[in-house]
Amino acid sequence: MSPRAKTALEPAKTNPELIRNFCIIAHIDHGKSTLADRMLQLTGVVDDRSMRAQYLDRMDIERERGITIKSQAVRMPWELDGQTYALNMIDTPGHVDFTYEVSRSLAACEGAVLLVDAAQGIEAQTLANLYLALENDLTIIPVLNKIDLPAAQPEKYAEELAELIGGKPEDCLKVSGKTGVGVDQLLDVIIRTVPNPVGDPNAPARAMIFDSVYDTYRGVVTYVRMVDGSLSAREKITMLSTKAVHELLEIGVSSPEPEPTKGLGVGEVGYLITGVKDVRQSKVGDTVTTSLKPATTALKGYSEPKPMVFSGIYPIDGSDYPNLREALDKLKLSDASLVYEPETSVALGFGFRCGFLGLLHLEIITERLEREFGLDLIATAPSVVYEVTLDDKKEVTVTNPSEYPVGKISKVLEPIVRATILSPKDYVGTIMELCQSRRGNMLDMQYFGTDRVQLRYDMPLAEIVFDFFDNLKSRTQGYASLDYEENGLSEGDLVKVDILLQGEQVDAFSAIVHREKAYAYGVMMTSKLRELIPRQQFEVPIQAAVGARIIARETIRAMRKDVLAKCYGGDISRKRKLLEKQKEGKKRMKMVGRVEVPQEAFIAALSSDTEKKGEKKGK
Amino acid sequence: MAQLPKGEPAPSDGRITKLFDSAQHSFHAYVHIPYCLTRCGYCDFNTYTASELANHRRDEYFEYVLKEISFSREVLAASEVIARPISTVFFGGGTPTLLAADDLIQILQGLRSTFGISPEAEITTEANPDSVDESYLEKLFEAGFNRISFGMQSAVPEVLKVLERTHNPENVEKNVAIAKRIGFQTSVDLIYGTPGESLADWKKSLQVATSLETDHISAYSLIVEPGTKLNRQIESGQISPPDEDLHAQMYEMVEQVLVEAGFRNYEVSNWARGVDSRSKHNMAYWQSQDWWGYGPGAHSHIAGNRFWNVKHPAAYAERISQAISPALERELVDSDNRVVEKVMLELRLVDGVDVQWLRSQGLAGPKIVAELIADELIEGASAISGRMTLTPKGRLLADAVIRKVLEF
Ligand SMILES: Nc1nc2c(ncn2[C@@H]2O[C@H](COP(=O)(O)OP(=O)(O)OP(=O)(O)O)[C@@H](O)[C@H]2O)c(=O)[nH]1
Ligand SMILES: C[S@@+](CC[C@H](N)C(=O)[O-])C[C@H]1O[C@@H](n2cnc3c(N)ncnc32)[C@H](O)[C@@H]1O
Ligand code: SF4
Ligand SMILES: [Mg+2]
Q: Does residue A325 have a pLDDT over 90?
A: yes
Closest C-alpha to B99, from B150, B57, B138? B57
Reply yes or no: is the peptide bond before residue A256 cis, omega within 30 of 0: yes
Predicted pLDDT at B130: 92
**Alpha carbon of A539 to those of A100, A109, B376, B408: distances in Å?**
51, 65, 14, 21
Is-contact A66 A89, C-beta < 8 A?
A: no
pLDDT > 70 in chain A, percent? 97
Give the CA radius of gyration of chain B.
21
The number of residues making up chain A comes to 619
Q: Which uninterrupted H or E stretch holds A584? A: helix A572-587
Q: Which atom of ligand 2 is nearest to the CA of B36?
A: 6
The number of helix segments (H) and strand segments (E) in chain A equals 15, 33
CATH no. for residue B176?
A: 3.20.20.70
DSSP bridge partners of B299: B308
B265 and B362 in a single domain? The answer is no
B248 and B384 in a single domain? The answer is no
Considering only CB atoms, A586 lies closest to which of B5, B268, B408, namely B408
B147 and B251 in a single domain? The answer is yes
Within 8 A by CB and 6+ apart from A240, the residues are A286, A287, A288, A289, A294, A295, A298
Considering only CB atoms, B399 lies closest to which of A563, A569, A573, namely A563
Provide residues with CB under 6 Å of ligand 3: B 36, 39-40, 43, 45, 47, 93-95, 128, 151
Q: Which uninterrupted H or E stretch holds B305? A: strand B305-309
Q: Does residue A279 have a pLDDT over 50?
A: yes
Cα A62 to Cα A363: distance, rounded to the nearest angstrom: 12
B172 and B24 in a single domain? The answer is yes
Domain boundary among the residues B269, B286, B303 is at: B286
Predicted pLDDT at A375: 94
Predicted pLDDT at A608: 56
A583 touches chain B (CB under 8 A): yes
Q: In the predicted model, what is the mean pLDDT of residues B331-336?
A: 94
Is-contact A227 A299, C-beta < 8 A?
A: yes
Task: Transcribe B214-269 into DSSP letters.
Answer: -SEEEEEEPP--TTSHHHHHHHTTSSPPPPHHHHHHHHHHHHHHHHHTT-EEEETT
Is-contact A321 A236, C-beta < 8 A?
A: no
Cα A101 to Cα A92: distance, rounded to the nearest angstrom: 7
Cα B218 to Cα B390: distance, rounded to the nearest angstrom: 18
Q: Does residue A76 have a pLDDT over 60?
A: yes
A94 lines ligand 1 (CB under 6 A): yes
Q: What is the whole-number distance in angstroms between the Cα of residue A238 and the centre of ligand 3?
A: 85
Question: A561, B406: Cβ pair inside 8 Å?
Answer: no
Q: Does residue B161 have a pLDDT over 50?
A: yes
DSSP bridge partners of A345: A349
In this structure, the number of other CB atoms found within 10 A of the CB of residue A316 comes to 19
A574 touches chain B (CB under 8 A): yes
For helices B335-346 and B398-406, give the axis angle rounded to 10 degrees.
150
Is-contact B98 B131, C-beta < 8 A?
A: yes
Predicted pLDDT at A610: 37
CA A244 centroid distance within chain: 30
Determine, yes or no, domain membership for B171.
yes
Question: B301, A560: Cβ pair inside 8 Å?
Answer: no
Determine, yes or no, domain membership for B303.
no
Predicted pLDDT at B168: 92
Q: What is the whole-number distance in angstroms between the Cα of residue A131 and the centre of ligand 1?
A: 22
Q: What is the whole-number distance in angstroms between the Cα of residue B96 and the centre of ligand 3?
A: 10
Is-contact A533 A539, C-beta < 8 A?
A: no
Is-contact A395 A616, C-beta < 8 A?
A: no
Determine, yes or no, domain membership for B308.
no
Cα B301 to Cα B16: distance, rounded to the nearest angstrom: 10
Q: What is the whole-number distance in angstroms between the Cα of residue A567 and the centre of ligand 2?
A: 11
Q: What is the whole-number distance in angstroms between the Cα of residue B93 and the centre of ligand 3?
A: 7
What is the number of structural domains in chain B?
Answer: 2
Domain boundary among the residues B286, B318, B344 is at: B286
A145 lines ligand 1 (CB under 6 A): yes
Cα B35 to Cα B401: distance, rounded to the nearest angstrom: 37
SS3 of residue A524 by DSSP: helix
Determine, yes or no, domain membership for B208.
yes
Is-contact A12 A232, C-beta < 8 A?
A: yes
- For A382, how many CA atoms within 13 A lie in the half-sphere containing its CB? 26
B269 and B371 in a single domain? The answer is no
Q: Phi and psi dihedrals of B164, rounded to 5?
A: 60, 35
B142 and B23 in a single domain? The answer is yes
pLDDT in tens, A222-259: 999 999 999 999 899 999 988 999 999 999 999 999 99
Cα A544 to Cα B211: distance, rounded to the nearest angstrom: 53
Residue A413 DSSP label: E
Q: Which uninterrupted H or E stretch holds A414? A: strand A409-424
B252 and B373 in a single domain? The answer is no
B108 and B196 in a single domain? The answer is yes
Q: What is the whole-number distance in angstroms between the Cα of residue A33 and the centre of ligand 4?
A: 4
Determine, yes or no, domain membership for B334.
no
B44 and B169 in a single domain? The answer is yes
A32 lines ligand 1 (CB under 6 A): yes
B274 and B378 in a single domain? The answer is no
Of A292-306, B114-128, B370-384, the poorest mean pLDDT is in: A292-306
Is-contact A272 A250, C-beta < 8 A?
A: yes
Q: Phi and psi dihedrals of A301, rounded to 5?
A: -90, -165
Mean predicted lDDT score pLDDT of chain A: 89
Determine, yes or no, domain membership for B392.
yes
Q: Does residue A618 have a pLDDT over 50?
A: no
What is the helix, strand, coil percentage profile of chain B, to 5? 45, 20, 35
Of A379-383, B90-94, B286-290, the poorest mean pLDDT is in: A379-383
Cα B321 to Cα B53: distance, rounded to the nearest angstrom: 18
Tell me the whole-structure pTM to 2 decimals: 0.71
Question: A564, B299: Cβ pair inside 8 Å?
Answer: no
Q: Phi and psi dihedrals of A29, rounded to 5?
A: 70, 10
Predicted pLDDT at A609: 47
ipTM: 0.90
Q: What is the whole-number distance in angstroms between the Cα of residue A66 and the centre of ligand 1?
A: 8
Determine, yes or no, domain membership for B82.
yes
A28 lines ligand 1 (CB under 6 A): yes
Cα A387 to Cα A490: distance, rounded to the nearest angstrom: 10
pLDDT in tens, B300-309: 999 999 999 9
Question: B403, A570: Cβ pair inside 8 Å?
Answer: no
Predicted pLDDT at A63: 87
Quote the domain boundaries for residue B370.
Answer: 352-408
SS3 of residue A382 by DSSP: coil
Cα A451 to Cα A426: distance, rounded to the nearest angstrom: 8
Cα B113 to Cα B85: distance, rounded to the nearest angstrom: 10
For helices B61-78 and B313-321, give the axis angle rounded to 10 degrees.
60
Considering only CB atoms, B5 lies closest to which of A562, A565, A573, namely A573
pLDDT classification of A355: cutoffs 50, 70, 90? very high
Q: Which ligand has the nearest atom to the CA of A175?
A: 1
Give the CA radius of gyration of chain A.
28
Within 8 A by CB and 6+ apart from A504, the residues are A346, A592, A593, A595
Predicted pLDDT at A571: 87
To the nearest whole Å, the CA of A539 is away from the closest chain B CA by: 12
Considering only CB atoms, B398 lies closest to which of A557, A563, A576, namely A563
Domain boundary among the residues B238, B254, B286 is at: B286
Task: Transcribe A282-348 into DSSP letters.
Answer: S-TT-EEEESSS--SSPPP--PPPPP-EEEEEEESSGGGHHHHHHHHHHHHHH-TT-EEEEEEETTT
Which of A535, A536, A537, A539 to probe the B interface (max B CBs under 10 A)?
A537
Is-contact A551 A542, C-beta < 8 A?
A: no
pLDDT > 70 in chain B, percent? 100
Q: Does residue A554 have a pLDDT over 70?
A: yes
Reply yes or no: is the peptide bond before residue A349 cis, omega within 30 of 0: no
Task: Name the closest residue on chain A to residue B301, using Cα atoms.
Answer: A569
Q: Which atom of ligand 2 is nearest to the CA of B150?
A: 9
Burial environment of residue A389 by CB neighbours within 10 A (0 to 12, 13 to 18, 19 or more): middle
Question: A579, B344: Cβ pair inside 8 Å?
Answer: yes
Cα A514 to Cα A463: distance, rounded to the nearest angstrom: 9
Q: Does residue A298 have a pLDDT over 80?
A: yes
Q: Does residue A280 have a pLDDT over 90?
A: no
pLDDT in tens, B174-186: 999 999 999 999 9
Which of B217, B224, B252, B268 to probe the A interface (max A CBs under 10 A)?
B268
Q: Which atom of ligand 1 is nearest to the CA of A145?
A: 31
Cα A572 to Cα A565: distance, rounded to the nearest angstrom: 13
Q: In the predicted model, what is the mean pLDDT of residues B195-210?
A: 97
Question: B248, A563: Cβ pair inside 8 Å?
Answer: no
pLDDT classification of B396: cutoffs 50, 70, 90? very high
To the nearest whole Å, the CA of B336 is away from the closest chain A CA by: 12
- For B396, how many CA atoms within 13 A lie in the half-sphere containing its CB? 21
Closest C-alpha to A449, from A160, A202, A46? A160
pLDDT in tens, A420-475: 999 999 999 999 999 999 999 999 999 887 888 999 999 999 998 877 888 898 89
Determine, yes or no, domain membership for B131.
yes
Mean predicted lDDT score pLDDT of chain B: 95
Q: In the predicted model, what is the mean pLDDT of residues B160-172?
A: 94
Within 8 A by CB and 6+ apart from A468, the residues are A434, A438, A482
For helices B366-374 and B398-406, give the axis angle rounded to 10 degrees.
160
Within 8 A by CB and 6+ apart from A555, the residues are A530, A539, A540, A541, A542
B359 and B276 in a single domain? The answer is no
Provide residues with CB under 6 Å of ligand 2: A 565-566; B 42-43, 45, 92-95, 126, 128, 151, 153, 189, 191, 220, 222-223, 225
B53 and B202 in a single domain? The answer is yes
Question: B268, A576: Cβ pair inside 8 Å?
Answer: no
Q: In the predicted model, what is the mean pLDDT of residues A324-350?
A: 87
Q: Between A and B, how many residue pairs show a Cβ–Cβ distance under 8 A?
A: 99
To the nearest whole Å, the CA of B283 is away from the closest chain A CA by: 10
The number of residues making up chain B comes to 408
Is-contact A75 A253, C-beta < 8 A?
A: yes
pLDDT classification of A346: cutoffs 50, 70, 90? confident
Task: Transcribe A92-145 into DSSP letters.
Answer: ---SGGGHHHHHHHHTT-SEEEEEEETTT---HHHHHHHHHHHHTTPEEEEEEE
Return the amino acid letter for A119: A
DSSP bridge partners of A21: A88
Considering only CB atoms, B403 lies closest to which of A564, A577, A579, namely A579
Closest C-alpha to B151, from B168, B135, B136? B168
